[in-house]
């Protein structure tokens, strides 16, 4: 069969984004596969509690802006750093 060049280009262009779906970043924990981001998040939350304890101990929490914005940003920072350090 002789397919038009545009049809072949459209099919190839539609399939290219699917090449990244070949490997899911997951880790085996006790026989179950968990997404890596979930593991990093589970580690980052206790780390953030540790940061809060240090901030309260050294009385630095009063100098931080809105706490409802600060601590979620710290969780995101730790999650991203853990993922970059251990799984990238």
The answer to whether 36 touches 25, Cβ cutoff 8 Å, is yes
| Position 66 in a domain | yes
State what percent of residues in the chain have pLDDT above 90: 50
Average pLDDT, the chain: 84
| Position 48 in a domain | yes
C-alpha 38/C-alpha 23 separation (Å) is 16
Scored b (16 or more CB within 10 A) or e, 30-56 reads eeeeeebbebbbeebeebbeebeeebe
| Position 1 in a domain | no
| Position 45 in a domain | yes
Domain residue limits at 71: 24-87
Domains of the chain: total: 1
C-alpha 22/C-alpha 83 separation (Å) is 19
Q: Which of 3-17, 24-38, 54-68 has the highest mean pLDDT?
A: 54-68
| Position 16 in a domain | no
Q: Given pLDDT bands bounded at 50, 70 and 90, which one contains residue 18? A: low
| Position 5 in a domain | no
| Position 47 in a domain | yes
Angle, helices 36-57/67-87, rounded to nearest 10 degrees:
130
| Position 2 in a domain | no
Question: pLDDT per residue over 32-70, tens digit each?
Answer: 777 888 889 999 999 999 999 999 999 999 999 899 999
State what percent of residues in the chain have pLDDT above 70: 84
């Amino acid at each position: 069969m002789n397919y038009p060049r545009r049809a072949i280009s459209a099919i190839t262009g539609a399939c290219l984004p699917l090449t990244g779906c070949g490997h899911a970043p997951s880790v085996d924990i006790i026989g179950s596969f968990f997404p890596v981001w979930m593991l990093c998040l589970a580690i980052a939350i206790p780390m953030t509690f540790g940061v809060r304890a240090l901030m309260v101990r050294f009385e630095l929490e009063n100098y931080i802006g809105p706490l409802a914005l600060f601590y979620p940003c710290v969780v995101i920072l730790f999650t991203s750093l853990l993922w970059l350090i251990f799984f990238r």
